[in-house]
Structure 1
Amino acid sequence: MERKNAKEILERYRLGTCSEEEKSWVETWHLQQLKESQYTANVADIKRIQDEVKSRIEVNIYDNVKRIRRKNQLFKISAVAASLIFVLGVSYFFSRESTKEPIAHPVWQQADIQPGGHKAVLLSGDGSAIQLSERRNTIIVGAQIRYADGAELLQGDPTSSLSEAPTVHTLQTPKTGTYNIVLADGTKVWLNAYSSLKFPSRFEGKERVVELAGEAYFEVAHNKKQPFKVRSQQQTIEVLGTHFNLSAYTSEATVTTLLEGAVKVNNVDDSKSVLLKPGQQSIVKEDTKQIQLAQSNTEHAVAWKNGYFNFDNETLGSILNKIARWYDVEFTYEKTPSNKTYIGAVSRSRNLSAVLRALEAAADVKFKRTGRKITVTP
C-alpha cells in the first residue's frame, strides 16, 4: 500500500470514518509493529502517550490501557504502537511462540455478525417466561421484581404470606446476552452469556443459596448470620461477604477467582475444600475433578464484565469458546488445535470479522465462515 494511502487510512481510523476492511488493515499493521519493535515502554512513557492521544482524539476512545505482562516483562512496543493501543481499545493478540508473518486476511463477503448485548429471560416460579428489555440491563428483586429504573416487571402476590415458601425464579441469558440482577439481600450479580442463575424471591433460614450454570461475577452483601452459598455443577462456594468470579460452563473447568474477602470452595466429588485469598483462584478440571489452587490475574477473570476479552496464556480452543458464546457462532477444526497459548485483549463491542482478523494475524490460522458456522484451518 502506498505511503500516501496509508496515511489517509490512519487519519480516517483516527476520526472513526474508515471501513471495516481499513480497520482490519490498521490493526494488522499494529500487530506487526508489536512483534518487530525493539523499544521497551515503561509506565511513564505509556501514561504520557495516553495523555497526549486523549487530548487529540475525541471519538471511539477506550478509557483504560490494559498493561499485559509476559513473565513480568512489558510487551516491547513502539511509541506509535502504544498510541494505537489506546485508540484500538487494546485490540490486539500476541502469540507466545509464533514468529511468523501475519497471515493475509480474506475478504469477508457475508453480512457481519454484531456483538452481543443485554439479553435475558426471566423464568418465573409460576412457569411464565418474560423476555427482558434489551434497553435495560438490571433487574432488582423485592416485593416485586422490577427494573433498576423502577419499571415493574413481575408483580408479587399481595395475598402471599411470609409463612409460605419463597418463590424460586431463574434468570437466563442466551448466547450473545448478558444481564445484571440485585438479589433480595442486596447481593449484586453480573451474568455472562449462555448462563443461568436460580434464586429465591427472598432468603430464609440459616443460609442464602443460589445455583449457577455458566459464568457470573458476584458482589455478596455481608450477613455473618446467614452465609451465602453458590452451587454449581462441580462445587459449592461458601462466603460471608466478598467479590468473586465463577466460571462453571458445562464441559469446561470450573474456575473460581477471588477479588476481595474470602471464600471456601467445596468439591462436590471428593468433599475436599480450599480457602481462597484475594488474587487466588481454584480450578476444578472436568477430567481430574480435583481442586487446584493458583495465583490469578483478577483483571483477566472479570474482563468480560468490563466489556472486553482478555486472554492470559489461553489456548486457541479456549479463546474460541468465549467468542462462540458472545457471537452465537460454532467453530469446527480441520485439524486438532495445538496447546500453543496466546495473550492479548480485544473489545467485546467489535463485530465478529474484526475479532477474527486479529486472531488470523496472530494465531497462524484462517477462518472460513458460512453463516454462523466457522471452519478453522492452520
Structure 2
Amino acid sequence: MSKASDLLEDLEFIRWVKFPNTELDNFWKSWMAANPERVKDVMLAREIILGLQFPSKLPSKELKQEVFANLLREQEMSSMKESPELDFSPNQGWYANRIFGKISAILAVAVLLTILFLSLKGEDSSGQNQVKTKWLVKSTHKGEKLNFRLPDQTIVWLNSGSSLRYPESFDSTVRLVELEGEGFFEVSENPNQPFQVLTNGLLTTALGTSFNINHSSRETVKIALVSGKVAVQHQKDSISYLLKPGLALAYQNAEHQAEINVFDLDTEVGWKSGKLIFNNASFRQVTKKLQKWYGVDIDVVGAPKSDWEFNGKFENQTLENVLKSMSNIENFSYQLSNKHIVLKF
C-alpha cells in the first residue's frame, strides 16, 4: 500500500485539501516541517484527492462492497487497540475534530470515494475537480548553462549536464523542486511557503536564501550556502543540519554521513559567471571537467609522466585558449576538431 494511503483516510487532511483555511494550513505546514520525508506523500495524496490520478473505469459493485467490508474490519480492530483518551492535548477545537474523524473514519472514506466517483463521471460541469498540476523540466547538455525564473520568481542557474523538475505553479503549502546535477538558487522569500530542493534523497529547505547544490558526483551531494539559512535532511535520516553563510555541507550517500566546512566562493559558484577553476586537480579530473564544460570528447595518446596536481583559473575563455595554457605547463600537444580533442604526450 502507498505511504500516502494513511493521508487519504485522514478526514482533516481531506478537509484541508478540499476546503483549506488558516488553521489547517498552519497545522499541515508544521507537520511537513517535522516530517520532511513525507512531503512527496502529501503531494501525491493531494493529487489523488484533487482528481489527478484516477482509474479509467469505475470499480465494480462487488469490489466496492469488498473495500467497505475491509475498511469496516480494519476500523473495528483499530477501535479495540486504541483508547480515545490517549491522543491529544492543546488546541481542543482541532482535536475534537480529530476524535470525531476517528469515530467517523468509514464515513469519511465513503465520502472521499463518492467525490472520486463523481469526478470520474464528470458531474462537476465547472471542471474544478479536474485541475491538473503540470510539471515542467529544464535541462542542459554538456557545454551548456541556463538561467531562468521559477513561478515564484526564484532565480535558478543550471550548470552543464543538469536538470530541474518543477510544477507550473506552486501550491499553497510548499515550493518543491527536484534537481539532478548542479544548480544555484536565489530563493524568493516567502516565510509561509518554504522552498525545498530534493536531490538524491537529500532535502534542502530555505525561505529567502541563495545557495549552490552540486550532485555531479553520484557519491556526494554538496550544498554551499551563500546567504540566508537552510536546513538539510536526508529522507532516511532523523538528523537535520543547519547551515550558515560561508559553510558547505558534503553528504556521503553510501555512509549517510555529512561533513560541514567553509568554502571558497569562486570555487563553488564561480561556474555561473563563467569561471573554470581547478584546485590540485588530477589529469582525470581535468579532462572530465573540460568535457562537461565545453561539451567535447577527449582522446589521449600516451600518458602524463606523473599524475597532475593542476591549478588554474580561466574566466570566459575559449577551449583553445585553455588548452594552449595547459599545454605549456603540462608539456603535451593537442589537436582540436569541432567537438573532438586529441591530447598527445
Query: Within the alignment, does 1:343 sit opposite 2:300 as a pair?
Result: no
Residue of structure 2 aligned with 1:164, choices 131, 137, 148: 131
TM-score computed with the length of structure 1 as normaliser: 0.51
Query: Within the alignment, does 1:314 sit opposite 2:289 as a pair?
Result: no
Alignment of 1:36-55 (within 5 A): none
Alignment of 1:14-53 (within 5 A): none
Give, in whole Å, the separation in 2 of the partners of 1:375 and 1:181.
35
What CA deviation, in whole Å up to 9, does each residue of 1:278-301 have, x standing for no partner? 111112346645322111001221
Give, in whole Å, the separation in 2 of the partners of 1:246 and 1:345.
21
What is residue 328 of structure 2 aligned with on the other side?
361
Name structure 2 gaps, 5 residues minimum: 1-125
Give, in whole Å, the separation in 2 of the partners of 1:263 and 1:174.
29
Give, in whole Å, the separation in 1 of the partners of 2:148 and 2:217.
22
Give, in whole Å, the separation in 1 of the partners of 2:331 and 2:306.
11
Residue of structure 2 aligned with 1:238, choices 202, 205, 212: 205
TM-superposed CA distance for 1:341, in Å, is 3.2
Query: Within the alignment, does 1:208 sit opposite 2:175 as a pair?
Result: yes
What CA deviation, in whole Å up to 9, does each residue of 1:254-299 have, x standing for no partner? 2211100111222345454422111111123466453221110012
One-letter identity of the residue aligned with 1:196 = S
Give, in whole Å, the separation in 2 of the partners of 1:289 and 1:343.
31
What is residue 109 of structure 2 aligned with on the other side?
none
Residue of structure 1 aligned with 2:157, choices 181, 190, 194: 190
Name structure 1 gaps, 5 residues minimum: 1-158
One-letter identity of the residue aligned with 1:345 = K
What is residue 290 of structure 1 aligned with on the other side?
257
Query: Within the alignment, does 1:220 sit opposite 2:181 as a pair?
Result: no
Q: Pick the structure with greater CA Rg.
A: 2
Give, in whole Å, the separation in 2 of the partners of 1:160 and 1:376.
62
What is residue 39 of structure 1 aligned with on the other side?
none
TM-superposed CA distance for 1:329, in Å, is 1.4
TM-superposed CA distance for 1:344, in Å, is 2.2
251 and 336 in structure 1: CA distance in 2 versus 1, 3 angstrom threshold: farther
Q: Secondary structure at the match of 1:177?
A: coil
Give, in whole Å, the separation in 1 of the partners of 2:252 and 2:333.
29
One-letter identity of the residue aligned with 2:294 = Y
- Aligned residues between the structures: 219
366 and 282 in structure 1: CA distance in 2 versus 1, 3 angstrom threshold: farther
Q: Is the strand fraction higher in 1 or 2?
A: 1
Q: Secondary structure at the match of 1:193?
A: coil
Percent identity over the alignment? Answer: 29
Q: Secondary structure at the match of 1:199?
A: strand
What is residue 301 of structure 1 aligned with on the other side?
268
Give, in whole Å, the separation in 2 of the partners of 1:298 and 1:374.
30
Alignment of 1:133-172 (within 5 A): 164-172=131-139
Check whether the contact 2:221–2:250 (CA below 8 A) recurs between aligned residues: yes
CA RMSD of aligned residues (A): 2.9
Question: Which structure is higher in RCO with an 8 Å CA cutoff and minimum separation 6?
Answer: 1
What CA deviation, in whole Å up to 9, does each residue of 1:50-79 have, x standing for no partner? xxxxxxxxxxxxxxxxxxxxxxxxxxxxxx
Q: Is the helix fraction higher in 1 or 2?
A: 2
Give, in whole Å, the separation in 2 of the partners of 1:336 and 1:370.
22
TM-superposed CA distance for 1:207, in Å, is 1.2
One-letter identity of the residue aligned with 1:318 = Q
Query: Within the alignment, does 1:327 sit opposite 2:327 as a pair?
Result: no
What is residue 49 of structure 2 aligned with on the other side?
none
261 and 341 in structure 1: CA distance in 2 versus 1, 3 angstrom threshold: farther
Q: Secondary structure at the match of 1:184?
A: coil
TM-superposed CA distance for 1:376, in Å, is 4.8
TM-superposed CA distance for 1:368, in Å, is 5.2
One-letter identity of the residue aligned with 1:173 = T
What is residue 116 of structure 2 aligned with on the other side?
none
Check whether the contact 2:139–2:164 (CA below 8 A) recurs between aligned residues: yes
TM-superposed CA distance for 1:371, in Å, is 5.5
Check whether the contact 1:267–1:290 (CA below 8 A) recurs between aligned residues: no
Check whether the contact 1:211–1:230 (CA below 8 A) recurs between aligned residues: yes
TM-superposed CA distance for 1:311, in Å, is 2.5
What is residue 177 of structure 1 aligned with on the other side?
144
Give, in whole Å, the separation in 2 of the partners of 1:362 and 1:195.
31
What CA deviation, in whole Å up to 9, does each residue of 1:106-150 have, x standing for no partner? xxxxxxxxxxxxxxxxxxxxxxxxxxxxxxxxxxxxxxxxxxxxx
Give, in whole Å, the separation in 1 of the partners of 2:166 and 2:158.
13
Residue of structure 2 aligned with 1:229, choices 187, 192, 196: 196
TM-superposed CA distance for 1:162, in Å, is 9.2
Runs of 4 or more off by more than 4 Å in structure 1? Answer: 159-163, 268-271, 285-289, 332-340, 364-371, 375-378
